[in-house]
């Protein structure tokens, strides 16, 4: 469902007018999409549950993201749920879709919360969306008991409650309490002041280093070709299949093809590497570890 050009109010009104599916119709549409890839059935299923996606998106408005963007992410989660839904499991599609919609919205919120990546592990995500709520509850409970918790005690309680390490709580607290600053801001109020971005070290490889690296690679490649040429056809075949393929073959599969035992293939492989090592060492002592 394309959302460009529609306001969130328009989308909400359209979603509220969509049909309500009973369990039997929902199941029939799910089978039609899974088994026949019936796009009309998919569209009908998604349209019927857009109200669910919009309702869930509205719960994340407090994180500052545009509502239309939240709805877009919610709809993507809904479509992913429809694509992965298995009607044979006996679960209503709406129940299954909730997880995918929520996950899609949460990922979007975390990606856009800060220019500095907030984190994407399960513990960091749990902290991001639950820390303030858990902290507020713990503060209420402590107040009811007449206790006054300091920051360290509160962090420990949050870590225990959410089930994450204490340092994760400290890190997330700092990130949520801070704000983003532009690297193009000047270091002083003077208009001629240097921008912060100018102080960052360039981590990219220098051109001279890249040229030298390419030259070394070309030299090693020529040495390797020479070393391979020192082997007979069978040895070259074994080396290529064992070391130069994206998915190396096993000794057993090579033995079946060559009519040899697995142990014999291993011996031939070791002998071939020995020959190549000698060839490489004769060309340069710097690559004696190549086949170590």
Q: Are 69 and 7 in contact (CB under 8 A)?
A: no
pLDDT digits (tens, 9 = 90+) for 101-134: 988 888 887 777 654 444 556 666 667 777 777 8
The CA-atom distances, in angstroms, between 261 and each of 89, 166, 205, 241 are 48, 56, 48, 16
pLDDT digits (tens, 9 = 90+) for 144-175: 888 888 888 888 888 888 888 887 777 777 66
pLDDT in tens, the chain (292 residues): 444 444 455 656 666 777 888 889 999 999 999 999 899 999 999 989 998 899 888 888 877 778 888 888 899 899 999 989 999 988 899 889 998 998 888 888 777 765 444 455 666 666 777 777 788 888 888 888 888 888 888 888 888 888 888 877 777 776 665 544 455 555 555 555 565 555 555 555 555 566 666 776 777 777 778 888 888 989 989 988 888 777 888 999 999 999 999 999 999 999 988 888 888 777 655 444 444 4
Q: How many C-beta atoms lie closer than 10 Å to residue 42's C-beta? A: 18
Domain that residue 150 falls in:
122-177
Task: Say how far apart CA 39 and CA 230 lie, in whole Å.
Answer: 60
For residues 228 and 154, membership in a common domain is answered with no
Record the pTM.
Answer: 0.44
For residues 36 and 89, membership in a common domain is answered with yes
Answer whether residue 133 is part of any domain.
yes
For residues 24 and 104, membership in a common domain is answered with yes
For residues 20 and 89, membership in a common domain is answered with yes
The CA-atom distances, in angstroms, between 226 and each of 33, 218, 221, 222, 283 are 57, 13, 9, 6, 9
Answer whether residue 201 is part of any domain.
no
Burial 149-183 (b: 16+ CB within 10 A, else e): beeeebbebbbeebebeeebbebbbebeeeeeeee
Listed in sequence order, the residues at least 6 apart from 14 whose beta carbon sits closer than 8 Å to its beta carbon are: 6, 50
For residues 240 and 162, membership in a common domain is answered with no
């Amino acid at each position: 469902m394309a959302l460009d050009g529609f306001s969130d109010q328009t989308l909400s009104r359209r979603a509220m007018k969509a049909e309500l599916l009973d369990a039997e119709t929902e199941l029939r549409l799910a089978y039609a999409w899974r088994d026949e890839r019936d796009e009309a059935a998919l569209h009908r299923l998604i349209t019927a549950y857009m109200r669910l996606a919009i309702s869930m998106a509205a719960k994340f408005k407090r994180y500052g993201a545009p509502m239309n963007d939240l709805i877009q992410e919610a709809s993507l989660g809904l479509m992913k749920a429809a694509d992965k839904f298995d009607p044979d499991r006996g679960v209503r599609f709406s129940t299954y879709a909730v997880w995918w919609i929520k996950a899609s919205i949460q990922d979007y919120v975390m990606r856009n919360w800060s220019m500095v990546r907030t984190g994407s592990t399960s513990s960091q995500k749990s902290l991001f969306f639950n820390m303030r709520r858990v902290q507020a509850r713990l503060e209420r409970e402590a107040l009811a008991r007449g206790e006054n918790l300091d920051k360290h005690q509160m962090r420990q309680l949050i870590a225990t409650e959410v089930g994450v390490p204490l340092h994760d709580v400290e890190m997330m607290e700092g990130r949520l309490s801070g704000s983003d600053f532009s690297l193009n801001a000047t270091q002083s109020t003077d208009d001629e002041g240097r921008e912060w971005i100018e102080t960052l070290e360039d981590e990219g490889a220098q051109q001279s280093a890249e040229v030298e690296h390419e030259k070394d690679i070309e030299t090693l490649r020529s040495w390797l070709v020479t070393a391979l040429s020192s082997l007979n056809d069978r040895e070259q075949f074994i080396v290529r299949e064992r070391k130069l393929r994206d998915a190396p073959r096993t000794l057993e599969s090579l033995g079946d093809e060559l009519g040899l035992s697995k142990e014999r293939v291993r011996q031939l492989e070791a002998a071939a590497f020995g020959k190549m090592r000698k060839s490489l060492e004769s060309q340069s002592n710097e690559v004696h570890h190549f086949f170590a």
